[in-house]
Amino acid sequence: MPDLQINQMLDMQERGLHYGDGLFETLLKVNADIPLWSNHYHRLQRGCKKLCISLPDEKWLLDKIEAETSGYDSAVVKLIVTRGIGGRGLEMPTVNQASVFVLRYPYTAIDHTELELDVAICQTRLAINPNLAGIKHLNRLDYVLAAIELAEIGNKNEAILRDTDGYIVEGIVSNLFFCLRGEVYTPSLEFAGVEGIMRQQILKYLEDQAIHINIGRFNCDLLLSASECFLCNSVHGVRPVRCAWLSRRPPAIRTLRATASRHSIDR
Amino acid sequence: MPDLQINQMLDMQERGLHYGDGLFETLLKVNADIPLWSNHYHRLQRGCKKLCISLPDEKWLLDKIEAETSGYDSAVVKLIVTRGIGGRGLEMPTVNQASVFVLRYPYTAIDHTELELDVAICQTRLAINPNLAGIKHLNRLDYVLAAIELAEIGNKNEAILRDTDGYIVEGIVSNLFFCLRGEVYTPSLEFAGVEGIMRQQILKYLEDQAIHINIGRFNCDLLLSASECFLCNSVHGVRPVRCAWLSRRPPAIRTLRATASRHSIDR
């Protein structure tokens, strides 16, 4: 495998900077373990395949993460893998040598069964891009603009994003589930959005429980008719949405949410 | 104005790496001059405004470019401006301090009146993104994938990109003009693509000559009916396309091309 560079200052010719030519994973380290590591690694694998980037060896990556977080019982870890250095213009580098960066941030556990999120509906739209949808690549300007919009709105914890066709996709840093007339819905990520690890876990849980889930392109009106809504990601698990439009919470979904939450923080 | 950092190794928290949260310009330095600098700076200005990035002072930028290219009569200069360093997740940095990077590459003048480009039609599509269309931001994965496709096709110099709706937009590193039944066409950049400086110059030239130009969303069939086609950018000026589908070259368009070429390399 190629000789990877790690944890150094970045080279000015780094393609991650020039083109956003890479992928990332945001991991939670808790009790010296990385919950759902295999899922994160497999998503990285899918992303590398789509972008034709040489995937670093799993064991090698885990060692690097361990080295960066040793002595920390818990941490948020951002792992970035890019195509590497150079060349001029969009020419591919002559040496196929991925760059790997491991960044450590403090983790503060949140009792998410208590914290309800107040969310906005964002005006900023996500581009429709079937080529890149699902993978966690570094081209995140849509999300940066949405975060700016969210900060300008003020007093909201998250925002729901729609694609340029007007269909709801996800939150800025989370995936979206909602419930309507006793059925569970989550937007398709075929055209935009990130296929979250926690979303995968919830889908698996629903399947195991033989609970039907509607995955598709839903417009905002449907979401605004929802009786319950929650957002999820790998770091904060599952968090309920509190909104004027949500009048009641069916017990079935509350149970689902709590179970999915346990599923995330117990691992 | 903020204290900018220049020409250092990149910080690991650089938002240009994490999100492609910035802009770039590719400039030509020739005979100690930067042709069309004002146009480049104004595009950078428009981009910074759209992304809410503090624009560095023009004189300061020119000094930095001069420092990096002094002693070089000619060079290709890549200027990158990002939102700067940090913070965690998508939070905006607490200090509004743009990062500026100036990279110098060798420039080899090409007699573009002789070199005809053999182009492919790319299968890779550009995402439709009215928010980001036109500006020269750092989210360039679509173009990276197109460049990979072009390399795989082999024996072609450039490739024409379509958006996800199927309309033609531009080349991977150039804007597109074509001629059909004596009229000039260029794709609208309202939904995707980069508003090239050379494209602006050609549009201005056509306006000065009172030559009508059709700007719109055109499908590939229209391009394939063209009698002439050329691509343009700031570094190589205007370059004609040689393709099986182009059978003849009306003198009017040949003149236009030659004039536009002179316009670019004389400045």
Helix (H) or strand (E) holding B186: strand B183-187
Q: Inter-chain contact B19–A88, Cβ cutoff 8 Å?
A: no
The values of phi and psi at residue B79, to 5°, are -110, 120
Q: How far lies A252's CA from each of A6, A113, A224, in Å?
A: 46, 15, 20
- pLDDT above 90 covers a percentage of chain A that reads 66
Q: How far lies B151's CA from each of A17, A86, A90, B148, in Å?
A: 22, 16, 11, 5
ipTM of this complex > 0.95?
A: no
Averaged pLDDT, B50-66: 94
* Distance (Å) from the alpha carbon of B205 to chain A's nearest alpha carbon: 27
- Best interface-test mutation with B: which of A125, A138, A161 has the largest number of B CBs within 10 A? A138
Angle between helical axes of A37-51 and B141-153 (0-180°, round to 10): 50
CA B25 to the chain's CA centroid: 8
CA atoms within 13 A on the CB side of A180: 15
Give the model's confidence band at B5: pLDDT under 50 very low, under 70 low, under 90 confident, else very high.
very low
> Maximum CA pair distance of chain B?
58
For B8, the token pair is: 């250092």
B219-258: pLDDT as tens digits: 999 999 998 899 999 888 888 898 666 644 444 455 555 5
> Maximum CA pair distance of chain A?
58
Partner residue opposite B140 with nearest CB, options A19, A80, A82: A19
Query: For tokens 């890019």, what's the residue?
Result: A82
Least confident of A102-111, A166-175, A225-234, B77-86: A102-111
Give the model's confidence band at A65: pLDDT under 50 very low, under 70 low, under 90 confident, else very high.
very high
Chain B residues whose beta carbon lies within 8 Å of the beta carbon of residue A148: 52, 92
Eight-state DSSP code of residue B263: H
Partner residue opposite A80 with nearest CB, options B17, B90, B172: B17
Chain A residues whose beta carbon lies within 8 Å of the beta carbon of residue B125: 129-131
B141-177: pLDDT as tens digits: 999 999 999 999 988 999 999 999 999 999 999 999 9
* Distance (Å) from the alpha carbon of B131 to chain A's nearest alpha carbon: 8
Whole-angstrom distance, CA of residue B12 vs CA of residue A13: 14
Residue of B nearest to A103 (CA): B12
Q: Which amino acid is at A150?
A: L
Residue of B nearest to A139 (CA): B139
Q: Inter-chain contact B10–A10, Cβ cutoff 8 Å?
A: yes
Strands (E), A83-227: 99-105, 119-126, 158-163, 168-171, 175-180, 183-187, 213-216
Query: For tokens 């039944």, what's the residue?
Result: B181
Q: Inter-chain contact A147–B92, Cβ cutoff 8 Å?
A: yes
pLDDT number for residue A1: 36
Number of A to B CB contacts under 8 A, please give it: 156
Residue of A nearest to B20 (CA): A20
Give the model's confidence band at B6: pLDDT under 50 very low, under 70 low, under 90 confident, else very high.
very low
Chain B residues whose beta carbon lies within 8 Å of the beta carbon of residue A172: 90
Whole-angstrom distance, CA of residue B169 vs CA of residue B167: 6
Given a contact cutoff of 8 angstroms between Cβ atoms, the answer to whether B24 and B101 are in contact is no
Query: For tokens 């001069």, what's the residue?
Result: B66
Averaged pLDDT, A70-96: 86
Partner residue opposite B12 with nearest CB, options A101, A131, A138: A101
pTM score of the predicted model: 0.90
Q: Inter-chain contact B90–A151, Cβ cutoff 8 Å?
A: no
Q: Inter-chain contact A91–B147, Cβ cutoff 8 Å?
A: yes
Chain B residues whose beta carbon lies within 8 Å of the beta carbon of residue A9: 8-12
* Three-state DSSP state, A165: coil
Q: What is the 3-state secondary structure (H, E, C) of A3-56?
A: CCEECCCECCCEHHHHHCCEEEEEEEEECCECCCHHHHHHHHHHHHHHHCCCCC
Helix (H) or strand (E) holding B255: helix B251-265
Eight-state DSSP code of residue B65: H
